[in-house]
Amino acid sequence: MDYATLLQVLDSTVRLATPLLLACLAGLFSERAGIFDIGLEGKMLMAAMLSAAVAYVSGSVWLGLLAGVGASMLLAALHGLASITFRGNQLISGVAINFLAAGLSVLIAQDWFSQGGRTPSLMAGARFEPITLPFADAMAGVPVIGPVYQQLISGHTLPVYLAFLCVPLTWWVLYRTRFGLRLRAVGENPAAVDTAGISVVGLRYAAVMICGLLCGIAGAYLATALQAGFIKDMTAGRGYIALAALIFAKWRPWYALGACLLFGFLQAIALRFQSIDLGGITIPVQVMDALPYILTVVILAGFVGRAIPPRAGGEPYVKER
Amino acid sequence: MGKMPNWADAVLVPIISLLLAALLSALVILAIGEDPLAALQLMVKGALGSSYGWGYTLYYTTNFIFTGLAVAVAFHARLFNIGGEGQAMLGGLGVALACLYIPWPHWALALLGATATAAVLGALWALLPAYLQARRGSHIVITTIMFNFIASALLNYLLVNVMRPKGSMDPATAKFPEPTHLPTLHDMLAPLGIAFSKSAPANISLVIAVLACAAVWVLIWRTRLGYEIRAFGHSEPAAHYAGINATRITVITMLISGGLAGMMAINTTMGEAERLVLNSVEGAGFIGIAVALMGRSHPAGVLLAALLFGFLYQGGAELALWTNIPRELIVVIQALVILFTGALDNMVRMPLERLFTPRKPGIKKG
């Protein structure tokens, strides 16, 4: 692989890692507060559909983003209602939300546009445009570093930069603010938080809604930046890969960045090469597809350091047992 | 909070949940601009109005019985097997291997053999998640989800690169040989003088599915193993105290669950397609979750819920054919059923419990 090809693969890694990263951080907020969320996929899908639909009708990508985030937060609120207020099974609620989104997104798109469950292609203005960073073209001539700056760092859409900014932001919120301390505490020992006079329900709803917000941006990115419009099942398991990345990162923001870049890289490789030759041994493309999941199982098996989820994860909190 | 009578728990709660799901689905149909009552009539006519419709309804029902039982058995041990999809894919592989590479003299023997290989491969696909849950504490929901994706990549590889006949563009195996073709309901009912549609795919697997229901009932409520599974599900520490081995129960329960999911393939792969195609499961593994929740994890309930979903599936296909309502409506209904019978169970249950609690004057509510 020569230098130019490598840069292209890395460039596509960044673009493919972005939705994973946003969804992964979304899951991080929710699960750190003790609410398991396997509905990341559904929230992204719903956001993708509605953002593309609204962006197409209004011609404004910002209104699209707003609609997508709204749809995702609505589903997040439903998840909160089921798993916090009614103390239902969080996993089952997540499964239900995934199916709800898979069905409703096609149903609505078909009803509005009658194009076989997809939205019409988005024109300029209804999509996020690439942003050229200052001096990008001037730097292009500089050997080695120039192309890296021009192709890899510059020229991405706004949500990409936003996603990468979210990593330090998430770290700061979780580890340097009072809200973050309480959020982590409510995922480990909600009874202690309750005893301190802080609302467990309020904190968990806040976490679930942040999760909805980030999933909404991820979904809108898929439909209005990575691609130009919504197609059926366009998330294609990204919500689950994000979940895998979250476990891989052991519920920590900086590691989440690493895990998402790794999984994004695997996707970029699988997209570019049909099969990879490694000195006589051919690796079929399906291995690349399955690798994130296999790696996660290996991590879960505890062979590469143990992944221990937040202690109160998945359990509804009952005041005064 | 008072206890409800058993009949209310077993019948009233699922029915109210179902009504809520139906009501919301009707609103969705209204929002599309179609008439919900006309849609229901069309569904009933399409799914139950002819032996052709029944043939498809029962074909789908067969799938959902297997996957519903798979989820239900795991629920009894408080394990959430979300990997029915992957286990059924591997079951399909088992059926294909048995049918393609063993020269069966008669379909009955082929059916027995293929059922066994399907169950074994499905069970094996559940083995590793079960072991990891029992010994390494990794959550079975996550591992079974991951195994679904791994199964789909594996099948994709095998069908595209290994099992595809030379010269074929289709990612599928060769057609199974004649002696492995299963009798359909048409063939089975003809000697009894009952005319049944020739083109509907329902086949003898339905009988096996119903037998599996009975077998699961015996297993769960009439055997020592079933007792251990239920005890483990009710309280792990209590089961441990009673000398029940947690690892053993987790692994055995998941093997049974995976085996049941895998057996679904005899219906789709051996009974209908007569070759292994990509995506032969078509989400039936996930519908098993809705079926098990709806059927309260009881084989009789699973049977009824599977019939309901079989009806919804076939009726939904008819709707997509004749109206502007896409097939995805069924996915929405399925989601609503899972939501109300599973996640929002307490929302239905709490007011009902209050209703059934006798009011005792003078005693404050606790």
In a domain, B333, yes or no: no
Q: Write down the mean pLDDT value for chain A.
A: 88
Name every chain B residue with its beta carbon within 8 A of the beta carbon of A287.
153, 157
Q: Are B315 and B22 in contact (CB under 8 A)?
A: no
A142 pLDDT band, cuts 50/70/90, is: confident
Q: Are A58 and A65 in contact (CB under 8 A)?
A: no
A305 pLDDT band, cuts 50/70/90, is: low
Name every chain A residue with its beta carbon within 8 A of the beta carbon of B139.
300, 309
* Residue A131, phi then psi, degrees to nearest 5: -105, 125
B1 pLDDT band, cuts 50/70/90, is: very low
Per DSSP, A131 falls in state: B
If one counts every other C-beta atom within 10 angstroms of the C-beta of residue B322, the result is: 12
- Reported ipTM: the value is 0.89
In a domain, B350, yes or no: no
Q: Are A27 and A44 in contact (CB under 8 A)?
A: no
Q: Tell how far CA B303 is from the center of its chain.
A: 10
| Axis crossing angle, helix B246-265 with helix B107-131, rounded to the nearest 10 | 140
Look at residue A180 and tell me whether its pLDDT is greater than 90. Answer: yes
pLDDT at B283: 86
If one counts every other C-beta atom within 10 angstroms of the C-beta of residue B265, the result is: 34
CA distance A280 to chain B (A): 17
Q: Is B331 within 8 Å of chain A by CB?
A: yes
Q: Is A93 within 8 Å of chain B by CB?
A: yes
pLDDT at B324: 81
The 10s digit of each residue's pLDDT in A232-249 is 889 888 998 898 899 888
Element (H, E) at B228: helix B224-234
Distant-in-sequence, close-in-space partners of A175: CB < 8 Å, separation ≥ 6? none
In a domain, B13, yes or no: no
Task: Give the nearest chain A residue to B143 (CA atoms).
Answer: A297
If one counts every other C-beta atom within 10 angstroms of the C-beta of residue A126, the result is: 24
Q: Which two tokens stand for residue B166?
A: 């030379």
CA atoms within 13 A on the CB side of A53: 25
**Cα distance between residue B260 and residue B91, in whole Å:** 9
Q: The domain that contains B96 carries what CATH number?
A: 1.10.3470
Q: Is A267 within 8 Å of chain B by CB?
A: no
In a domain, B114, yes or no: yes
**Domain residue spans in chain A?**
3-127+146-236
pTM of the model: 0.89
Element (H, E) at A277: strand A275-278
Name every chain A residue with its beta carbon within 8 A of the beta carbon of B330.
103
A65 pLDDT band, cuts 50/70/90, is: very high
**Whether A103 and B328 lie within 8 Å, measured CB to CB:** yes
The 10s digit of each residue's pLDDT in A143-175 is 777 777 777 888 889 999 999 999 999 999 999
If one counts every other C-beta atom within 10 angstroms of the C-beta of residue A15, the result is: 17
Tell me the C-alpha to C-alpha distance, in Å, between residue B78 and each of A273, B182, B298, B345. 43, 36, 14, 16
**Whether B161 and A296 lie within 8 Å, measured CB to CB:** no
In a domain, B9, yes or no: no
Tell me the C-alpha to C-alpha distance, in Å, between residue A120 and each of A75, A230, A291. 24, 8, 33
Residues pairing with B277 in the sheet:
B172
**Whether B335 and A111 lie within 8 Å, measured CB to CB:** no
* Residue A281, phi then psi, degrees to nearest 5: -95, 125
The 10s digit of each residue's pLDDT in A9-30 is 899 999 999 999 999 999 999 9
In a domain, B18, yes or no: no
Domain count of chain B? 1
In a domain, B88, yes or no: yes
Q: What is the DSSP string of B95-136?
A: HHHHHHHS--SSHHHHHHHHHHHHHHHHHHHHHHHHHIIIII
Alpha helices in A133-252 (DSSP H): 136-139, 145-147, 158-176, 178-188, 190-195, 200-221, 238-248
**Residue span of the structural domain in which B269 resides:** 59-323
**Whether B328 and A117 lie within 8 Å, measured CB to CB:** yes
Name every chain B residue with its beta carbon within 8 A of the beta carbon of A117.
326, 328
**Cα distance between residue A105 and residue A100, in whole Å:** 8
Q: Are A21 and A215 in contact (CB under 8 A)?
A: no
Task: Give the nearest chain A residue to B138 (CA atoms).
Answer: A300
